Structure 1
Amino acid sequence: MTTADRVPVASEADRSAYRAGPVDEQSRARLAEGGLDYRRTSIDGDDFAPWLQSVARGFLDGERTPEQIASSRERSGYRRLTGVYDPAAPVSEAPVATIASWLGELSVPGGAAVPACAISAVTVAPTHRRRGIARAMLEGELRAAADAGIPVAMLTVSESTLYGRYGFAPAAASASWRIETRRAAWIGPRPEGRVDFISRETLRGLAPALHERVRLALAGEIDVPGSHWDGFAGTSPTAEKAGEKRAIQYTDAAGEVRGLALYTVRENHDDFTKASVRVVYLLTDGDDAYAALWRFLLELDLVAEVNADELSVDEPLLWMIADQRAATITLRDHQYVRILDVAAALEVRRYGAPGLIALDVSDALGHAAGRYLLEVDAEGVGRVRAWEGDAPAGAVEVSLGIEELSATYLGGVSLATLAAAGRVRSADAAAAARVLSWHTAPRLSIWY
């Protein structure tokens, strides 16, 4: 049996069944004891607009207009929406807490993807804090994902301290760059091909296929829901300041589009030679496209500073500029991962070295607790089975929580680092780290 047979990509039928599934009964009963109603929200029903307004309030956004509500309704069909309602509240039709999720794919080391439950829109009204609502919702979504046979959950977060208690861990960090263009001086490749301006609509049409071509090679990336591309390109009818975005493409010497970028420019009215650029999105297929687009952005006339977010922690760009001190780089947690099925998750990814690791995994929520033997062959393929009693001869024993195992899953942190931090126990953490390592840093280029 191949890994693909063991963990098939979620079909559209699977996704539809997940969207239509009932809320978790355990969480529903827990919230009902506090007088709260936990139920799914219909995208097509009258309850969608109040749900969306509650999400906007939770993220400190303004009230949504009828046009924005209609646009969001049209673009939300891929998501399962859930709300917690307080019948005693003056506006009882508006949920006091919200959560959304959908079944997608997470790219993992080795050019494969694992089915994953993506979670977003997690809010709790300040009037209803400390009543166990967030816990009930998140544990409910994790149980729903586990019941659907999904090995991994994932999310990007506004508050980074909230999710470790549910087994999530930062698995792919992101880098924000501020580059002084006059100091940087391009010393990178100057590939053949050309960079041209295109319309945002053209970029919107090209981006999905280009992303599909490259995402499996980038651990940490996800399959992007179609409506997100409208948000990036500003092509939805309700997009704000969409006209500020400029779109470019790189075509190689054969005339094939290999790279896309969106950026905005802010003038400096005190000195018109010192405008600043923000790279909204950059997507490349191959080294030539990467070099050509970055060179274009760094050599724009009248621009003194280029800013970009959601970059890798190990960008080749750092070695393409003459003065590395021209770049100020800030790192932060970004893509969070939570393993639900250890065997299924570990067998999808590839590994940096052969070895035998005996994992003793704890999980406060019970989804992934157990003892697992990970055996990796010379090709980097792993097989997992349960073990009892003493670990087999030659196995490196590792004792850790599901949060720590999830942190290592994409290769973004060394197990030896976690051991030095007191988060993992092992007599030979370095040996285990060599197996679990990967040669490229994971990244996620979007928020969701």
Structure 2
Amino acid sequence: MSSEYRTHPVDAESEERLTAQDLRYGILDNGDAEAFRGWLHADSRGFHDSRPTQQAVDAQQKGLEYRRALGVWDDASPDPVVPVATVASWPAQLTVPGETSVTGWAISSVTVAPTHRRKGVARALLEGELRTAHDLGLPLAMLTVSEATIYGRFGFAPAAMAATWKIDTRRAGWSGPRPDGRVRFLSLDQLSEQRAELLERARLSVPGEIEHWDYLWHRMLGAAHEGKDNGKDLHAVRYDDADGVAQGFALYRFTEQDQEFASHVLDLHYLLAVTDDAYAGLWRYLLEMDLVRQVHAPLRSVDEPVAWQITDQRAARKSNEGDHLWVRILDAKAALEGRRYRAPGRIGLRVTDPLGFVEGDVLVEIGADGAASVSPLKGEAPDGVAELALSAADLGALYLGGVSAGTLVRAGRVTELRPGSADVLDGSFRSPVTPWLSIWF
């Protein structure tokens, strides 16, 4: 997609709602230093962060220029350059089952000042983003959330989960494969140069991952140019296979320390593996580290193979398991035809959508090659077709294949219109790789 999305007009319906409250809704001019500083101040305030330094403003003004940033301004405010609400969005590639991608509308930086809550501002922002994405022809929208109670009303649902893992290295003897490759140290500059190719090679193997952007890694590697230098105690290693080909990397630091020197905690910031061999090699390296009593790994998959690669599974404890990536389907035909499926089948979906994007009935016909054809379903479904009734949000939950239709039926969210239909859908939709997103956005 070209960069024209950045100047796509603001949504007229949301603009009318906000104008009626004497609020100004518009696209941020990223080249206006004063306006950007005010927008970034509002964004930071919304997440209870400190006021950004000038170095941070300069870095983000350049690093986030690919985003379409919008604001809501109250010109009667004592500081009218600082918006009372913010949102940012951009098209990004989302990995879906079948080691392929669809383009989704990534939404971030959703904030509303506490002085302007309960006025419908968030609704205007989010519905405006959904209508914009639909106007641009995108099949879905996606976001990660700080509050889980807001987004269901807009048709979003959790589609990929995440968890924190804590592994007691003194109990977790390695019982997994013993890879033939080698782990090597590399500098943060070297990692910065090499990570993009590795990230893209790995991304297509995990539904729920999205393409990364340069500024994300600028922040992850320390943001020294913003006056923080959080990278001074980061360590980076790369895994090379037996042929010397780079197949993964890990980024970590040591935190906490008891009075006993040999009781460090290894805080894993990021681990990427293109191959199973690299995964085993990197985890074995981390778990056999001297002077370490625990590996702490946040924002990992809920289904980490490493739990099955240690001698004592009780040494690996999973916590904070819950929603991470939320998906909102905007075009059922494009979204469902954009992914692949595990088994052939014919499935009728009767979808309700209060916002109207995917309201209606469709027939999903999946061939032996895993590809789907989606067409309108008129009248009663043909004999032999599985049939379910569900909401747009439930369709988003099922989309990446990480949530079971059977579970949603038992939860009362999805209705089987013909017995056994949930089993048919799960047989086709479920992903062989547990969906996971390794970052926030």
Within 2, Cα distance between the matches of 1:417 and 1:236? Answer: 46
Is 2:167 the counterpart of 1:174?
no
Give 1:333 shift: 0.6
Asked whether 1:437 is paired with 2:426, we answer: no
Relative to structure 1, is the Cα distance of residues 324 and 100 closer, same or farther in structure 2, using a 3 angstrom cutoff?
same
Measure, in 1, the Cα distance between the counterparts of 2:429 and 2:289. Answer: 41
Residue of structure 2 aligned with 1:265, choices 254, 272, 289: 254
2:16 maps to: 29
The residue identity in structure 2 corresponding to 1:332 is G
Match of 1:202 among 176, 190, 194: 190
Q: 2:386 pairs with 383, 392, 396, which one?
A: 396
**CA distance in structure 2 between the partners assigned to 1:287 and 1:169 by the alignment:** 30
- Aligned pairs for 1:106-121 (under 5 A) are 106-121=94-109
In structure 2, what residue type is equivalent to 1:252? D
Larger mean Cα displacement after TM superposition, 282-291 or 232-241: 232-241
CA distance in 2, matches of 1:209, 1:437: 28
CA drift of 1:240 comes to 4.0
Q: Secondary structure at the match of 1:390?
A: coil
Take 2:269 and 2:322, find their aligned partners in 1: how far apart are those partners?
Answer: 18
Q: 1:134 maps to which residue?
A: 122
1:353 correspondence with 2:354: no
For residues 435 and 265 of structure 1, the distance between their equivalents in structure 2, rounded to whole angstroms, comes to: 43
Q: Distance in 2 between matches of 1:353 and 1:420?
A: 23
Identity, in percent, stands at: 48
SS of corresponding position for 2:232: helix
C-alpha RMSD of matched pairs (Å): 1.0
Provide, for residues 340-387 of structure 1, a one-character-per-residue CA deviation record: whole Å limited to 9, x for no partner. 000000001111221111100011111111110001112221110001
SS of the aligned residue for 1:135 comes to helix
Q: Distance in 1 between matches of 2:362 and 2:197?
A: 38
CA contact (8 A) 1:78 1:225 kept: no
Which runs of structure 2 are paired with 1:136-151 in the superposition (5 Å)? Answer: 136-151=124-139
1:125 aligns with 2:113: yes
- 2:224 touches 2:230 (CA, 8 Å); kept in 1? no
Match of 2:237 among 242, 248, 253: 248
Residues 71 and 236, structure 1, Cα contact 8 Å, conserved in 2: no
Kindly report structure 1 stretches of 4+ aligned residues shifted beyond 6 Å.
Answer: none
Deviation sequence 1:154-180 (CA, Å, 0-9, x none): 000000111001111000001210110
Alpha-carbon contact 2:223-2:230 (below 8 Å) kept: no
Cα distance in 2 for residues equivalent to 1:240 and 1:159 = 29
Give the distance between the partners of 1:270 and 1:110, measured in 2 at CA. Answer: 50
- CA–CA separation in structure 1 for the residues paired with 2:424 and 2:62: 51
Hey, what does 1:105 align to over in structure 2? Answer: 93
Q: CA deviation at 1:319?
A: 0.8
> Partner of 1:17 in structure 2?
4
Partner of 2:207: 219
Alignment of 1:274-313 (within 5 A): 274-313=263-302
CA contact (8 A) 2:30 2:36 kept: yes
Say whether the 8 Å CA contact 2:233–2:253 is kept in structure 1: yes
Matches within 5 A, 1:185-200: 185-200=173-188
The gaps in structure 1 that reach 5 residues or longer are 1-10
Moved more, 402-411 or 434-443: 434-443
Match of 2:409 in 1: 419
Post-superposition offset of 1:421 = 0.3
Is the counterpart of residue 322 in structure 1 residue 311 in structure 2?
yes
Q: Kindly tell me: are residues 130 and 240 of structure 1, through their superposed partners in 2, closer, same or farther at Cα, counting changes over 3 Å?
A: farther
Aligned equivalent of 1:381, options 371, 384, 390: 371
CA-CA distance at 1:432 after TM superposition = 2.2
Q: 1:8 maps to which residue?
A: none
What is the distance in 1 between the residues matched to 2:366 and 2:105?
A: 26
Q: CA deviation at 1:392?
A: 1.3
